[in-house]
Structure 1
């Protein structure tokens, strides 16, 4: 099955207003920047975004935030995005901050058909007890707070602990980026750019992948495939210019003595 579509715009054109989208990447590493830009161009609104973070002010998911296309974010990290923080504190954006490992496992569970799981992360904090501010009002009061989560005791390796129940995440669409892909959707990621991409891809009901290099089916060593094509519905081949356009979130330099 040939899953290659003509353009990024065609690949995201049917994402409706109000959809939940899982977006791969960590910081600006491995983000599907071309698909995000296409989603901005088609004008989709009221999105719920599930991603490790929300880009920066002028790149990645930050572009959607600037245009007020996002109504809710499930993330583990705000990062360098000042507009993200401003919208959250001004009551314009609902934000569910989630421990990073828990977010990864919620996505993995969603892709595996697991409804929920238990973890010790968050026990004894507002993560489990509820009360985390999800949305503020215009006066800075908490308008929507996180609900309490079920906590149970389990014995693991002979030691009893409390565990909090976390629900899986299943998204309507997933947007990811890979270094190499074939026409059947099998994907290979480059080093740390793999990050949240496979997890988001499996959690999406419809998954769209932008690939830096497209190869014929059969060229990839099956043992080298990081994400099987069964999880990918659409493939967009990037141009050399799109492939090379990669931003750095924060650059730190030091002077070197001559």
Structure 2
């Protein structure tokens, strides 16, 4: 490697609520020589981060521009409403949007839901971020509907959450610029999809030690030592076929029959 060449590396973006630890661990096991750099970005900025080449791939929230990006959907989250622990909603297992119609609901500027018609009563302002909205909920000013992962990420001891059965949902996907589908991106795809290291789908690269051992064995093997494959037996004697297929007489020496001994006169 010349001095101008840089060792390979990979930059992986992820949005709040995504926990990439499991995939990072597998990456480090399979590709220990390729450093993986994690970059957390707001959900709204993830597409631009990938488009600008500031990350090689990312765990993002759908939708994405499928004319420019490739995307592999991974899972869809449950939507929940965050409420104070002493709120009436905390006494039930789940709610609907109709149950929230009389509640003040915050819609932060970084809201990940594409509401056709935001439910509940309009708040006096739109918080800049979801954490800001959570703080207002803790102050008993209103409620907020978020994906469950964000409710866990910004959890507070004085708050709880309940599923909203008919609310919009947010889906997480692995995405990257389609024209930048590199070998390392293929490696990440295999990891995310749960392929084994020896999988025949995608890239399949045996360990370096195994490759070297195979190469050394081929170089050290003397020429002409390989055994030729044994022809498959047909189970029939060639003489038998020449004799018309009579397996009892063809190709074997016949013993003449002995007659009765002559009586001496």
TM over 0.5: no
Higher Rg of the two aligned structures: 2
- Into which bin does the TM-score normalised by the smaller protein fall? under 0.3
Greater fraction of residues in strand: 1
- TM-score normalised by L of structure 2: 0.24
